[in-house]
């Protein structure tokens, strides 16, 4: 270790080993330097505390702003490290004044400013957070929502919105054909969001939550609605998609439209109505007029209401414009369904009456999932249910499982329908396939079982009596 006495420690704990000393700053600026002096330390002053500079650029030695890096003044002695060599700056590893392992610093490695650390939760942390937010501006296409965020929201992953409504306001309604073709995703952090949602018109938006997003207060005491109100005719002929995944609802999903040409698909996945006191229609499309097409796709959902209707569409205009295109593994056991038509319904539990206004309208077989019909469905008490279908004979399409579970249901509707309401599904992947032709009794099922027994007997021979 080499000792250098009479030198100083700055207020920041940096020890100084000057190569040049001047009594005034003017003398320092007037001195001649060469490239070999760059990176060297200069002491200025007649007496302590001195002011120290590092020669940064010998070509700009007359300009303090360009040629020097200033170091704060200080007092005290220091012991220099053995690694310090002539022409280099002595540097230290931290702000305590302890000598660092790398004490000989070449001029090319001298920073133009000193790093400043910050304490956890202090001003430095806030400044760092603000810098991160600035690096991640609000994106186009994906927005983030986190109800516990406390910073300035932009909708980015580092600065999420705190409400779903703020994200919808950011998206806004589509005013051009190009905007109608955009696809937005709102990624919602798990939690309670006590707010009504108004979906901007002519937009495609997915509401996704990796945990549970609940539209209510923490006690499920508030009832929150979702509304889609379209008053503008579309500019791009393209179906709009509204999708909810893992969102728990407490009020009605209300859909209305007053302009022609719209075509919407509503998809609910792993959603349920969680309010124990809700008494409205889970999905209310009574304001949806004739003309625009509206199709629902439900997967692993539970629609729960203390009211009469679970899914309800317009009872004045022809209901063929609103259809249940697809439903799988859903619980429909708490109310009635009144819609234009149905598509593929599989593995669902029914608990109310179904009224299908299957008239000649915009929703046809091509607009619904295939094969159309009930597959592997059950009714909790078929004797209390009514199926109404204003379609042709055999308009109630079922597989053998659903047929058996629906025995006892009262059928109503057009005269042709009441004569023979059942029609078996013709898809070979479903039980008994197209060979099952029920005629209002169990004969079709018995015939199928007899054919099966005959086939087994043919394989086993005389082992079957």
Q: Is pLDDT of 209 > 60?
A: yes
Per-residue pLDDT tens digits for 36-52: 888 888 888 888 778 88
Q: What is the mean pLDDT of the chain?
A: 77
- For the chain, the domains span 9-109, 138-438
Residue 172's φ and ψ, nearest 5 degrees, are 70, 170
Q: Binning pLDDT at 50, 70 and 90, where does residue 292 land?
A: confident
Kindly report whether the global pTM for this prediction surpasses the value 0.75: no
Task: Provide DSSP, 299-332.
Answer: ES-B---SSSEEEEE-SSS-GGGEEEEEEES-EE
> What span, in angstroms and rounded, lies between the C-alpha atoms of 183 and 141?
6
Q: What is the pLDDT of residue 290?
A: 73
Task: Please report which confidence band the pLDDT of residue 427 belongs to, taking 50, 70 and 90 as the band edges.
Answer: low
Range of 72-81, 156-165, 310-319 with top mean pLDDT? 156-165
Q: Select the more confidently predicted residue: 1 or 179.
A: 179
Region 368-394: what's the mean pLDDT? 81
CB 216, CB 192: distance < 8 Å: yes
Name the least confident of 316-320, 360-364, 383-387, 417-421.
360-364
Our CA angle for 184, 263, 234, nearest 5°, is 75
Q: Give the DSSP H/E element, type plus range, for residue 97.
A: none
Provide the 10 A C-beta neighbour count for residue 199: 20
Most confident of 137-146, 156-165, 399-408, 443-452: 156-165
């Amino acid at each position: 270790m080499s000792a250098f006495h009479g030198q100083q420690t700055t207020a920041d704990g940096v020890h100084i080993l000057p190569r040049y000393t001047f009594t005034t700053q003017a003398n320092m600026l007037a001195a001649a330097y060469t490239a070999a002096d760059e990176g060297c330390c200069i002491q200025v002053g007649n007496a302590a505390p001195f002011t120290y500079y590092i020669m940064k650029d010998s070509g700009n030695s007359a300009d303090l702003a360009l040629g020097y890096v200033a170091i704060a003044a200080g007092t005290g002695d220091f012991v220099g490290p053995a690694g310090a060599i002539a022409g280099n700056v002595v540097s230290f590893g931290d702000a305590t004044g302890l000598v660092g392992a790398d004490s000989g610093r070449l001029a090319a490695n001298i920073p133009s400013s000193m790093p400043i650390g910050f304490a956890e939760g202090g001003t430095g942390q806030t400044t760092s957070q603000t810098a991160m937010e600035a690096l991640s501006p609000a994106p186009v296409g994906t927005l983030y929502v986190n109800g516990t965020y406390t910073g300035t929201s932009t909708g980015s992953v580092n600065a999420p919105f705190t409400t779903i409504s703020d994200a919808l306001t950011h998206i806004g309604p589509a005013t051009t054909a190009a905007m109608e073709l955009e696809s937005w995703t709102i990624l919602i952090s798990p939690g309670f969001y006590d707010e009504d949602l108004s979906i901007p018109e002519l937009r495609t938006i997915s509401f996704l939550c990796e945990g549970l997003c609940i539209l209510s207060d923490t006690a499920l005491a508030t009832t929150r609605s979702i509304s889609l109100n379209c008053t503008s005719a579309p500019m791009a002929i393209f179906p709009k998609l509204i999708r909810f995944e893992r969102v728990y609802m407490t009020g009605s999903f209300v859909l209305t439209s007053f302009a022609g040409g719209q075509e919407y698909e509503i998809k609910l996945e792993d959603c349920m109505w969680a309010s124990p006191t809700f008494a409205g229609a889970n999905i209310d499309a009574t304001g949806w007029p004739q003309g625009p097409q509206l199709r629902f796709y439900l997967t692993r959902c539970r629609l729960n209401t203390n009211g009469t209707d679970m899914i309800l569409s317009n009872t004045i205009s022809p209901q063929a414009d609103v259809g249940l295109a697809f439903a799988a593994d859903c619980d429909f056991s708490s109310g009635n369904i009144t819609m234009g038509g149905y598509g593929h319904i599989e593995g669902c539990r029914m608990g109310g009456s179904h009224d299908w206004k299957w008239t000649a309208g915009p929703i046809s077989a091509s607009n619904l999932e295939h094969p159309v019909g009930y597959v592997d469905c059950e009714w909790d008490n078929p004797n209390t249910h009514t199926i109404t279908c204003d379609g042709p004979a055999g308009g109630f399409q079922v597989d053998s499982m659903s047929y058996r579970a629906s025995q006892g249901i009262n059928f109503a509707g057009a005269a042709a329908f009441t004569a023979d309401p059942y029609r078996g599904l013709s898809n070979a992947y479903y039980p008994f396939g197209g060979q099952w032709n029920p005629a209002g009794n169990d004969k079709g099922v018995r015939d199928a079982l007899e054919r099966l027994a005959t086939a087994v007997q043919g394989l086993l021979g005389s082992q079957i009596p």
